[in-house]
Amino acid sequence: MEVLILVLSFLILLGIGVPIAWSIGISSLFTMLVSIPAMPAFTTVAQRMATGLDSFALLAIPFFILAGQLMNRGGIARRLIDFAKTLVGALPGGLAHVNIIAAMLFGAISGSAVAAASAIGGFMGKRMEDEGYDKSFGAAVNITSATTGMTIPPSNILIVYSLASGGASIAALFLAGYLPGILTGLFLMIVAGVWAKRKGYPVGERSQLREVARTFLDALPSLLLLVIVIGGIVVGIFTATEASAVAVLYCLVLGFWYQEFKATDMPDILLHAVSTTAIVMLLIGTSMSMSWIMAFENIPQQITALLLSVSDSPVVILLIINLILLFVGVFMDMTPAVLIFTPIFLPVVQEMGMDPVHFGIIMVLNLSIGLCTPPVGSVLFVGVGVAGTSIQKVVKPLLPLFIAMIVALLIVTYVPGLSLWLPEVFGY
């Protein structure tokens, strides 16, 4: 009965347009009201929300969000685009490759797919259109490539997964995300190159070594942020939370150094960072209360037993989990999806002997695809809006790119070494 109330109330609230954070919290409360009296139920839900947010690791999220806002205003996107163009601009579909590489770098630096889609798309969309690329194709490339920053560190969602998994190492997750994220980007580049060749899009001129060196030096201060943040965490100089504060300070200095924003811009930057942080933290709090209630009702154990009764083959079970997560990603944002479904599926894969770090990369890579799909795909709507086109026109060029992302997901799922090699090299 409790499981039925939890699921039905959540779906009904979502269906009538209640924001997802409130839907999660209210459905959790309804479920508790069935089991215990009203006052203890209200107290328990509130307590679990507060306890869920009482984590030192979560302090990294507002800092990384603020760092992302500073990067978005600090001229980093333009410098990364210029550097990427000198590397791959002469290949078939050169500007599409530039978009993908710049989005991978910017998304990794900012930790935000929406910021990457907005910043890179704002620069690349008009440039691609001017050089003869179809507007819908440019939008599709921008939308899908922006999601690679969710896997390539530093990524807020990997921090959220660490919390939901009960302590998977953030440093190990950050290291594990590199190869899967790069692999996804390479698959997108292959599809974009083939599409561009078939459509006869123009090819740029090969850059001189001097030009490559100039753009690299211009982008180097931005790229150094990755070295400082990830290197500092891996070497043990500071924790992920301390690294996020270092990232804010570095981005602040970089923005003023580039003279891309002034002191008078700071209130607006801080306001955007605070509003985004509030949304994320409310989602985390309500999702943690739902996760506790599911554990209280033994839902993860029941689902584990159900899946293991369907098949004892890890290949089949992982395929089923991936299909469920792909479906979930269509209707739910990444943060609540990770917080709700990690406690459900992690026991299943651990029963099969899978490393929690590997499963975290699978889950984040899987749910990243949902950012590109309606009805809640935030990156899709931002990418379409920036490009000035419609979802209907973007669907056709999106489909082969979707397939590329799913193929990358399957490879990462069934080849654990892609995720676990770097953590093992560095002793995590």
| pLDDT at 400 (0 to 100) | 93
Helical ranges in 92-169 per DSSP H = 94-110, 113-130, 135-146, 156-164
**Rounded distance between C-alpha atoms, residue 227 and residue 373, angstroms:** 32
Q: What letter represents residue 160's amino acid? A: V
Q: How many CA atoms lie within 13 A of 156 on its CB side?
A: 27
**Rounded distance between C-alpha atoms, residue 227 and residue 233, angstroms:** 10
Burial of 321 (0-12, 13-18, 19+ CB in 10 A): buried
Number of other CB atoms surrounding residue 206 within 10 Å: 12
- With both helix axes pointing from N to C terminus, report the angle between 334-351 and 266-296 in degrees, rounded to the nearest 10: 40
* Of 61, 58, 57, 30, nearest in space to 45 by CA: 30
Look up the pTM and report it. Answer: 0.83
pLDDT in tens, the chain (428 residues): 777 788 788 888 878 878 878 888 888 888 888 877 888 888 888 888 888 788 777 788 788 878 877 877 777 767 877 788 787 767 777 788 888 888 887 776 666 777 778 777 777 777 778 777 888 888 888 889 888 888 888 788 888 899 888 878 888 998 999 999 999 999 999 998 888 888 787 776 677 788 888 888 888 887 888 788 878 887 888 887 888 888 888 888 888 887 777 788 888 888 888 887 887 788 888 888 887 887 777 777 777 777 778 887 889 999 999 998 988 887 777 888 888 889 889 988 988 889 999 999 999 999 998 888 876 677 888 788 878 888 788 888 889 999 999 999 999 999 999 999 999 988 87
Residue 240 CA from chain centroid, whole number: 17
Question: Would you say 61 and 159 are in contact if contact means Cβ atoms under 8 Å apart?
Answer: yes
Question: Would you say 384 and 130 are in contact if contact means Cβ atoms under 8 Å apart?
Answer: no
**Rounded distance between C-alpha atoms, residue 140 and residue 133, angstroms:** 12
* Of 410, 405, 380, 407, nearest in space to 395 by CA: 380
Could you tell me where the beta strands, DSSP code E, fall in 234-365? none
* Of 321, 326, 269, 57, nearest in space to 166 by CA: 57
| pLDDT at 375 (0 to 100) | 64
| pLDDT at 116 (0 to 100) | 76
**Rounded distance between C-alpha atoms, residue 406 and residue 427, angstroms:** 30
| pLDDT at 179 (0 to 100) | 93
**Rounded distance between C-alpha atoms, residue 219 and residue 227, angstroms:** 13
Q: What letter represents residue 394's amino acid? A: V
| pLDDT at 80 (0 to 100) | 77
| pLDDT at 363 (0 to 100) | 93
Token code pair at residue 181: 């994220």
**Rounded distance between C-alpha atoms, residue 279 and residue 410, angstroms:** 31
Residue spans of the domains in the chain: they are 1-54, 56-289+297-425
**Rounded distance between C-alpha atoms, residue 11 and residue 20, angstroms:** 10
Q: What letter represents residue 145's amino acid? A: S
| pLDDT at 355 (0 to 100) | 93
Number of other CB atoms surrounding residue 344 within 10 Å: 20
Number of other CB atoms surrounding residue 83 within 10 Å: 24
Instruction: Read off φ and ψ for residue 232, nearest 5 degrees.
Output: -65, -40
**Rounded distance between C-alpha atoms, residue 89 and residue 99, angstroms:** 10
